[in-house]
Structure 1
Amino acid sequence: MSAQAAAIPDINELIRPEHVHGSVYTSEALYQAELEKIWYRTWVYVGHTSEVPNANDYVLKSIGPQPVIMTRDRNDQIHLLLNRCTHRGNQVCVFDKGNSRTFTCPYHGWTFSNTGQLRGYPFPSGYEGTDREELGLGRVARVAEYKGFIFGSFAEQGPSLEEHLGGAREAIDRLVRNSPEGEVEITAGFLKHKARANWKFLLENETDGYHPQFVHASIFSVAQSGIGDLYSSDSTAVARYLGNGHSENDLRPEFRRLDKPLGWFGTSAARMPEYVAAMNAAYGENKAREIMIDGTPHTMIFPNLFIAEIQIFVLQPLAVNETVQHVTALQFKGAPEMNRRLRQQTMGSVGPAGFLLADDSEMYERNQRGIQVRDPEWVFLGRGKNRERRDEDGFMVGDATDEVPSRGMWQHYRTIMEER
């Protein structure tokens, strides 16, 4: 056993049914093990097909701290390539996005196709007998798509993407139905927010229904928003664990009780006639009304994709105590009236001067500082344990403010980290 392996804490000693040890957020050895067992072995969300709409388009993405180039080749196939020249390790792509059939390393001029093959190198007379096939760009072993969302896995074998998504597939299905054309587009551009905190603090917070009434009290009161009521002790909404680390705050019971199309979006059907007309034409008035009452999901897809009603967040761990949140407004294909409002609300909530993300980021960093205090050693996640129950689909649910999602995520985390 290597010294590094010996230094990895015993997961069974750190994760209990209602408690996790503070070191799971601070251990460098555990973080390195997470990279190998979670980020480099399971399915991780990378990007969306709409980000590379044309032949030879590319965009820089990541899987954890690993830089990845997502390309669409001339045959319309999407590839996930590692941004490292196979000669001396220089990055072959320095632009965030563009359109190119090839990438040329600036160090020694090696050129690679957008499918990863080595096309050539200067002064080839020095490379007699070299096998170019073995010198192509590294690539993510498996690439799969679900409703336009592209996921990658460095593991050559393992569960399929649909098996990994499991109960979270329905959230993506529900999301795309909010478009008259049944598609979302990721075209509004990303904001990047760095938090000096462990990535799991962010992951847990995304479906934590206990904090909004307190952390976001100021903006809720100023904006006279009813969002806080969705996460109150009287709310009919539920917290749900979907398996495989995925979880959601299901707000549909409250929206259905209120019975107002587009109430989930803080508006009414009368104020968005073009969108309503397009939805009615696409789905019929009854189905369209149902979709517009239910709204979009609030779902965390393990380990890094958060569908947050009007936007998506993509989590990228850079260090044990440093995480970047990439966030962009969702855009519904065929819905320009809705899309303008989605962009505006995203800027107001998570933009540079936005309120919601600033509140959460402050909590993440305070958590990271506080968790290093020696006593108590454990984090308590027992809220709602005595009232959690199975729903009609067999998923564990609790009241809106219960910690069902965190308890489920940590048990999944333990299972992954125990695998050899």
Structure 2
Amino acid sequence: MTSLANSHDCRALIEPARVHSRLYYDKGIFEQELERIWHKSWVYVGHVSEVPNRNDYVTKSIGPTPVLLVHDRTGQITLLLNKCPHRGNQLCAYREGNRSTFTCPYHSWTFSNTGELTGFAYADGYNGADKTRFSLGRVPRVAVYRGFVFGSFASDGPSLEDYLGGAKASLDQLLDNSPEGELELTAGFLQHRTKANWKFLLENETDGYHPAFVHGSVFQVTDSSIGKLYGPQSNALTRDFGNGHTEFDLRPEWRRLDKPLAWFGTTEDRLPDYTEAMKASYGAERARQIMIDGSPHTMIFPNLFIAEIQLFVLQPIAVDETIQHVTALQFKGAPAFNRRLRQQTMGSVGPAGFLLADDTEMYERNHRGALISDPEWLTLSRGLHRERRDENGYLIGHSTDEVPQRGIWRHYASLMAA
């Protein structure tokens, strides 16, 4: 079968309210995505709280490419490629640690954690070769927004803040839930491997049309009212921030209820220390509003998903394989709240969790379905007739409308055409 990427322009497969199935399974298109999206856009890599001390490091990735997120010996946050420039061996096999140098296990070349080669093994064999020629590869652009570390393989382009645009407000909303305005991602990551194309996951994260059906059994067993937030009578909104960033905005529903911490299924009296800490930090009125609005439900293109109580990172491995890295959000200065966040994360997306199992089943069914030739086109037309602009100029729609999905594909088309 001829690769569509070699025989067609991908833009011909994307229309305002439908996309062609081959966008999900064509290997040539996947290779183009790596080049034009994952190696040119800003991509979320990690959080500064994962490397709090000088010489801390943690292994991460940009798409399938392994990188080292390093708090180097000079105090800078940097991203190094996890590849020895001698013979290409994986330089560091440990998930995390603290070290000022990295030594390749194959031939014992040693590098500073700033990337420079510091020594050859049996150096006489190199006859005084210039060590500066053999530095580690590095991600050329690294930027941090309020602790969130992003990297780009493109040597130039828009600033991170310009790229984030309106999605910055979602990250600000998230951090407001900490009495100290900071996250500490200290709970560790679970990894879930899915036999599906990464874009099925991307589209699903801010899809408000599926939860009442896919997760209906969970809502029923737990006697939860959450399902109603995704129904026809909901006041919640879907939003397209532009640049592929999207949101499922539950604040209209939480504001209608007007009860602090209702978004988390609890009350102020059950978290008294947290409530008092929030009031001390923000003042009673502002703290009350923050605890009503809660944490956001936002997908930052192409790989960072803030799911109210969890943080997901999408990693495409192949055209038909994706890993989801997930951890419980932990708010600095909120120990009792954080304990509940960890417990709820394990119950929903842990190894025996309810929600992620439901979603993963749908992703894999979607991918198998994409391989069926008829119909070739998949529709994304829900709510197109009632799509409108909010006060900030962003497209919004009803909670069950496909505003986010259309926004994702518009941005995707612009990147693939570049």
- Give TM-score, length-normalised by structure 2: 0.98
Classify the secondary structure of the residue corresponding to 2:218: helix
Structure 2, unaligned runs of 5 or more = none
Structure 1 stretches of 4+ with a deviation exceeding 2 A read: 3-6
Letter in 2 for 1:144: A
Within a 5 Å distance, the mapping from 1:16-415 to structure 2 comes to: 16-415=15-414
Using the TM superposition, give the Cα deviation of residue 152 of structure 1 relative to its aligned residue in structure 2, in angstroms.
Answer: 0.2
Residues 65-113 of structure 1, C-alpha deviations (whole Å, 9 max, x = no match):
0000111112221110001000000011010000000000011100001
Q: Secondary structure at the match of 2:150?
A: strand
Distance 1:141 1:226 in 2: 47
CA contact (8 A) 1:9 1:30 kept: no
Q: CA RMSD in A?
A: 1.1
Q: Check whether the contact 1:240–1:247 (CA below 8 A) recurs between aligned residues.
A: yes
**Alignment partner of 2:315: what SS?**
strand
CA distance in 2, matches of 1:131, 1:27: 44
Q: How big is the shift at 1:122?
A: 1.1
**Structure 1 position 323, deviation (Å):** 0.1
- In 1, Cα distance between the equivalents of 2:370 and 2:162? 34
Per-residue deviation, 1:256: 0.1
| Alpha-carbon distance in 2 for matches of 1:84, 1:9 | 34
Question: Structure 1 CA distance, aligned partners of 2:18 and 2:26?
Answer: 17
Q: Shift of residue 129 of structure 1? A: 4.4
Aligned residues of 2:5 and 2:29 also touching (Cα < 8 A): no
Whole-Å separation in 2 of the counterparts to 1:142 and 1:399: 37
What is the distance in 2 between the residues matched to 1:405 and 1:43?
Answer: 19
Matched-pair contact (CA < 8 Å) for 2:5–2:28: no
1:334-389: CA deviation from partner (whole Å, max 9, x where unpaired): 00010000000000000000000000000000000011111000000000000000
Classify the secondary structure of the residue corresponding to 2:404: helix
Paired with 1:296 and 1:76, the residues of 2 have a C-alpha distance of 31
How many Å separate the matches in 1 of 2:11 and 2:363? Answer: 25
* SS in structure 2 at match of 1:416: helix
SS in 1 for 2:241: strand
* Shift in Å, 1:132: 1.2
Which one-letter code corresponds to 2:83 in the other structure? R
Looking at structure 2, the residues matched to 129 and 158 of structure 1 have their Cα atoms a distance apart, in angstroms, of: 38
Between the aligned partners of 1:111 and 1:5, the Cα distance in structure 2 is 43
In structure 1, how many angstroms separate the alpha carbons of the residues matched to 2:307 and 2:46? 16
Q: Which amino acid aligns with 1:158?
A: G
Structure 1 Cα separation of the partners of residues 133 and 321 of structure 2: 35
Tell me how far apart the structure 2 counterparts of residues 406 and 196 of structure 1 sit (CA, whole Å). 21
| Residue deviations 1:28-75 (CA, integer Å, cap 9, x gap) | 000000000000010000000000011100000000000001111122
Gaps in structure 1 of 5+ consecutive residues:
none
Instruction: State how far apart, in whole Å, the 2-side matches of 1:54 and 1:12 are.
Output: 45
Structure 1 residue 225 displacement after superposition = 1.2
1:111-156 deviations in Å (ceiling 9; x for gaps): 0011111011111112124221121110001000000000000000
Match of 1:186, SS?
coil
CA offset digits 1:171-194 (Å, max 9, x no partner): 000100100000011110000000
Stretch deviating more after TM superposition (382-391 or 74-83): 74-83
* Contact persistence 2:73–2:114 (CA under 8 A): no
- Identity over aligned pairs, percent: 65
| Cα pair distance change 1:8/1:114, threshold 3 Å | farther
AA of the residue aligned to 2:355: L
Match of 1:95, SS?
A: coil
SS at match of 2:166: helix
The answer as to whether partners of 1:57 and 1:71 remain within 8 angstroms in 2 is yes
Q: Any conservation in 1 of the 2:3–2:27 contact (CA below 8 Å)?
A: no
Secondary structure class of the residue paired with 2:15: coil
1:89 maps to amino acid: G
Code of the aligned partner of 1:62 = S
Secondary structure of the residue that 2:114 maps to in structure 1? coil
Aligned length: 417
Distance 1:214 1:274, change over 3 A: same
Distance 1:6 1:151, change over 3 A: closer
- Give the whole-Å Cα distance in 2 for the aligned partners of 1:9 and 1:101: 48
Cα deviation, 1:205-251, whole Å, max 9, x if unaligned, reads: 00000000000000011111121111111001100000000000000
Name the stretch that deviates more: 129-138 or 397-406: 129-138
Counterpart Cα distance in 1 of 2:7 and 2:224: 45
Cα pair 1:237 1:250 within 8 Å, conserved? yes
Contact 2:5 2:26 in 1 (8 A): no
- 1 CA distance for matches of 2:82 and 2:347? 34
